[in-house]
Structure 1
Amino acid sequence: MAEGEAGVIAPGARRAPGALAAAGFPLLLCFLLVGDLAWSLKERAMPDLFKTQLLAVSQDALLPNILFGALPALIAMVFGPLLGTWSDRTRTRIGRRIPFLLVCTPMISASIVGLAYSDAAAGLLWRWSGAGPASRQAFLVGWMCLCWTVYELFTVLANALFTALINDTVPHRILGRFFGLFRIVSLGVGVAFFYLVFNDELPALARTVLLVIAAAYMAGFMVLCAGVREPRYPPHQPAPAPGLRGLRRGTDQVDRFHGLLFLALAIGTVCVLPVNINSYAALAQFGVDRTSYGQAVAIAYSISILMALPLGWLADRIHPLRVGYAVLGLYAVCMLGAFALVDGRLSFLLWFVVHSVLAGAFLTGTAALLPALLPKAHFSALAAFSSSVTALLTVVCTVAVGGLLDWNGGDFRVIFLASGAAAACGVTCWYVLLRAYARAGCEKPGARS
């Protein structure tokens, strides 16, 4: 077994060989899945819950693109590399990821509670300020944006740390299937939320739902932090080793490959954002009610559940690079077709489901890409740099799409054009990446890794 494959280390023990190691892995898996369940509830429910709150008090097309796209991107770009490097260098009795998760978790839950009581908190601030009645709504929007900023700050950091913890503790040979299993849990939570909760009665239930999410997230990650034991890490190395496996022609080549990898992954991640962020705001234009939208999301997630493990297996079998390339190409064709064909309620819901399924397939198929290609000793720092590249493109893309929607009077068909065009650019970049990977002397993308 390779050094650092700590996923087989039983909770409560630093190292466990042979049968004990094999017995410990299911327990580790259970603790990680508890954390994933809490994470999934937050990730699946919070964006659309907050969109429901925000659209009730603001119709600005640019604001959602800033809050859901540019803001987390800027946070990832500024704080991600710093925290990633800090975490990689940390050596404590309870590990190098868990101490940071113990700080992020209560801050995330507190910010959700703040959103649950937005009306009361904003009203209190408004009365203290002595401002006129016309400014009350501005105080409400400001408080919601403040809570969301805190939420995004610690969510971006916690998500990166959670991924790094999985990378540290799960054997790489099964990462694709492992992330596929995580996707099933995440999508199952999404199906339940959007089918059972996300309907026309949601505004009346919003506070209760937010409080449940805050409590569940806190409890789930406290259990995760208490149950998972990180492996014994080697002493920190002050400088990254040149090291994609198989790249042996010099550090410059490694750096060029990393740069191309980060750019390709960034484009693939960003291209889905125009539809992801603005689809809820588009409901009125196409005559879609909240219940139908929630059912469409539930259908898309149900399809994605069926695809998750096969995609994870396929990524382990033929490499995440090839899976990502194929899915991204199909997504580009479909979104450009959607721009031409969406003209009403049914067509919007149909192409929205297609978008959601293919976007999810890309995330599942490429979930193990960075763990497969980045050196483990500096994974968090390099992954944070990758997130910074994605963040830079996200800021440009989301602000541009928000400005475009303001300029064209809010015709939301353009979101499909933006996603399709960005994906088409991504396909070209992924093709170059595949060629570079094959030329570098690594395993061929079509070979079993």
Structure 2
Amino acid sequence: MSEPARLDSNGAKPGDGAHSDGLLRCGSLTYTRKGLVVLFCWLLWGDFCFNLMETIVPSIIPLKLQSLGSANWLISLIMTTLPGVFNTTICPWVSFKSDRYRSRWGRRIPFILFTMPFLTASLLLIGFSDSLGGWLHRVFFSGSAISQGAVVIILLGVFVGMFDLFNMFVGSVYYYLYNDVVPEHYQSRFMGWSRLVGVATSTLYNFFIYKYALSHMREIYVGAALLYFFGFGLMCLKVREGSYPPVEEGGGGGFLADVRVFFRDCFSIPFYWLIFLGNMFAAIGATSGVFNVFFLQSLGLDLDQIGKSAAIAGALVAICLAFAGWLADKWHPVKVEAYVTAFSVLPLMMGLLWLFIDPPPGHILFWIIVGGSVFSALLTAVNAVVAMPRIMHLFPREQFGAFCGAQSMVRAAGTMIGGAGVGIFLDLVRRMVPESGMYFYRYAVVWQVFFALLTFAFCYAVFRRWRRLGGESGYVPPMQGQQASLASAPPSRPERASGGLMVPVILAWAGLCLMLAAYLVYFAWVAKDPHSAMICGAFLAAFIVSLWIFRRLMAFMERA
């Protein structure tokens, strides 16, 4: 790899971007264009290894636990509440300490390398949990009331907990590395390629591997462990961080002093609380995602159809990601997030349809879902690209890790509440609804819609406040001690609704309407079910009107 030259031995941070000498700078690092391409290649290789590892664990474990007879509340506890505990404790501490850590390897990479052997071991143990559980049951519990399945469930809980613990060190700092080594002017474009790699990885996994999730679980986890250790480890050795300014006074003095500085800097400004709480409600809504595979199975799709529909949707998003970074440079990430968060309520509301009627057969539903994903791919790609640049823009750069840690702490509280709550909610619904089988999983969408509305309310408040703090042209992240002057800051000039940004929104909206029209045609002329056709028609009429409501809402938001 062509190593970036290091500038400013005193630790001063030069401006990012291209300079008159043709070099590209990020802090104390400087790159030629060839060097930046090499950097991107190594970071994207790391993305592939890391994303594959993180895709495998949450996709297989719920299926394995359900096959062993685990209760929904226990699945939710293992998959969402337990990581939430670590997010509340480990992530903020690691984020805060990594901002202030200085070594020859940088301030982020040492945290990744230290935990790599332990994370690899946890993946291997998960893969061999069936064999270990069988051995333990034969040796210690043979003839007892404790079944082999119960022993395996306990082991999976322990091993997944180990994985979550050590992965929290990696997840807490890995994406901060982008902010430290990628020039600011290229961050959106890099995030486009990063998301492209992530989606391509998920697509390949869903299309070729996911159908073997239960039959070849051991082989999948062993492969993921080896790829992570050797592949991701190689990326860490090839990517170099620059030098950083000396740690400010107050960053040392022991654990309690660190805690005081952390809470003072991150939680004393109301504006950041709006960001944190919006993120928390989004996390609570997302906790139902662990049951998404069961929701799709309740609609009549099998694992092969679920995996292939996700793979096709991922491939379509991947195509759009190739140029989504350029669009993100054109539309500000804070504005894009506001638009997408508002629109995201609509596809969730369409899921409410299946509470009133039964869907078409799986082979028909599969193609309707695939058709809808063609229209939503561009909006999904743009949203995926701007998520990280949005918080890079909103949070102070030199304290980026600490603020991300604070956000993770609040989000984790939501994850723990939501993780336990959604499992209990679905178990209560299971007892209350008369339908048998997996029908009760369709109520997960009620949970999602409610918290999507709360998320948009806070995203709207962030957008309004961001504009008062200068908006696209003049925003500076508020710091502790500046509240008084910021409270009286004049609002930025009112802007017209972004017509270009409405293009992916309208495409996604058209996809939803076409899906509802396809359902209407099926029930009216193929299944000859007038009741279901009438309900589809009512949903279609409501969704046609929804675009006008959405445009009015966005125009008001940008004028306010």
TM over 0.5: yes
1:236 equivalent in alignment to 2:247: yes
Distance 1:67 1:6, change over 3 A: farther
State the shift of 1:439 in Å: 0.8
Choose which of 303, 316, 321 in structure 2 pairs with 1:303: 316
Give me the whole-angstrom Cα distance separating, in 2, the residues matched to 1:377 and 1:332.
Answer: 34
Give me the whole-angstrom Cα distance separating, in 1, the residues matched to 2:267 and 2:142.
Answer: 60
1:380-412 residue CA offsets vs partner (Å, 9 max, x unmatched): 111011111111112222221111110011601
1:285-324 residue CA offsets vs partner (Å, 9 max, x unmatched): 3332111111111122122213324443333322211111
Determine if contact 1:270/1:394 at 8 Å carries over to the other structure. yes
1:266 equivalent in alignment to 2:280: yes
1:82-104 residue CA offsets vs partner (Å, 9 max, x unmatched): 11111111111111111110022
SS in 1 for 2:249: coil
Give me the whole-angstrom Cα distance separating, in 2, the residues matched to 1:356 and 1:277.
Answer: 22
Distance 1:16 1:111, change over 3 A: closer
SS in 1 for 2:14: coil
Name the counterpart of 1:34: 45
Give me the whole-angstrom Cα distance separating, in 2, the residues matched to 1:278 and 1:334.
Answer: 17
Distance 1:89 1:233, change over 3 A: same
Give me the whole-angstrom Cα distance separating, in 2, the residues matched to 1:129 and 1:339.
Answer: 48
SS in 2 for 1:292: helix
Q: Which amino acid aligns with 1:152?
A: D
Distance 1:362 1:374, change over 3 A: same
1:390 equivalent in alignment to 2:404: no
SS in 2 for 1:408: helix
Name the counterpart of 1:184: 196
State the shift of 1:280 in Å: 1.6
Give me the whole-angstrom Cα distance separating, in 2, the residues matched to 1:378 and 1:45.
Answer: 32
Name the counterpart of 1:337: 350
1:436 equivalent in alignment to 2:459: no
Q: Which amino acid aligns with 1:285?
A: S
Q: Which amino acid aligns with 1:126?
A: H
Choose which of 55, 58, 72 in structure 1 pairs with 2:66: 55
Give the number of equivalent residue pairs.
Answer: 430
Determine if contact 2:287/2:422 at 8 Å carries over to the other structure. no
- The 5-angstrom pairing of residues 6-405 of structure 1 reads 17=30, 21-130=32-141, 132-135=143-146, 136-199=148-211, 201-239=212-250, 255-274=269-288, 276-341=289-354, 343-344=358-359, 346=362, 362-405=383-426
Question: Is 321-330 or 21-30 further displaced after alignment?
Answer: 21-30
Q: Which amino acid aligns with 2:166?
A: F
Determine if contact 2:284/2:415 at 8 Å carries over to the other structure. yes
Determine if contact 2:266/2:406 at 8 Å carries over to the other structure. no
State the shift of 1:5 in Å: 4.8
Distance 1:252 1:370, change over 3 A: closer
Question: Is 350-359 or 75-84 further displaced after alignment?
Answer: 350-359
Distance 1:383 1:238, change over 3 A: farther
Give me the whole-angstrom Cα distance separating, in 2, the residues matched to 1:298 and 1:313.
Answer: 24
State the shift of 1:133 in Å: 4.5
TM-score w.r.t. length of structure 1: 0.87
SS in 2 for 1:308: helix
Q: Which amino acid aligns with 1:331?
A: S
Give me the whole-angstrom Cα distance separating, in 2, the residues matched to 1:152 and 1:67.
Answer: 10
Distance 1:82 1:131, change over 3 A: farther
Name the counterpart of 1:246: none
Name the counterpart of 1:244: none
Give me the whole-angstrom Cα distance separating, in 2, the residues matched to 1:7 and 1:29.
Answer: 16
Higher relative contact order (CA 8 A, sep 6+): 1
State the shift of 1:252 in Å: 10
Which blocks of at least 5 consecutive residues in structure 1 are unaligned?
A: 241-250
Which blocks of at least 5 consecutive residues in structure 2 are unaligned?
A: 1-6, 8-12, 252-264, 431-437, 476-494, 499-560
SS in 2 for 1:287: coil
Give me the whole-angstrom Cα distance separating, in 1, the residues matched to 2:369 and 2:34.
Answer: 45
Determine if contact 2:115/2:166 at 8 Å carries over to the other structure. yes
Distance 1:44 1:419, change over 3 A: same
Name the counterpart of 2:552: none
Name the counterpart of 1:247: none
Determine if contact 2:48/2:197 at 8 Å carries over to the other structure. yes
Name the counterpart of 2:489: none
Determine if contact 1:7/1:168 at 8 Å carries over to the other structure. no
Q: Which amino acid aligns with 2:273?
A: G
Distance 1:361 1:22, change over 3 A: closer
Determine if contact 1:6/1:170 at 8 Å carries over to the other structure. no
Q: CA RMSD in A?
A: 3.0
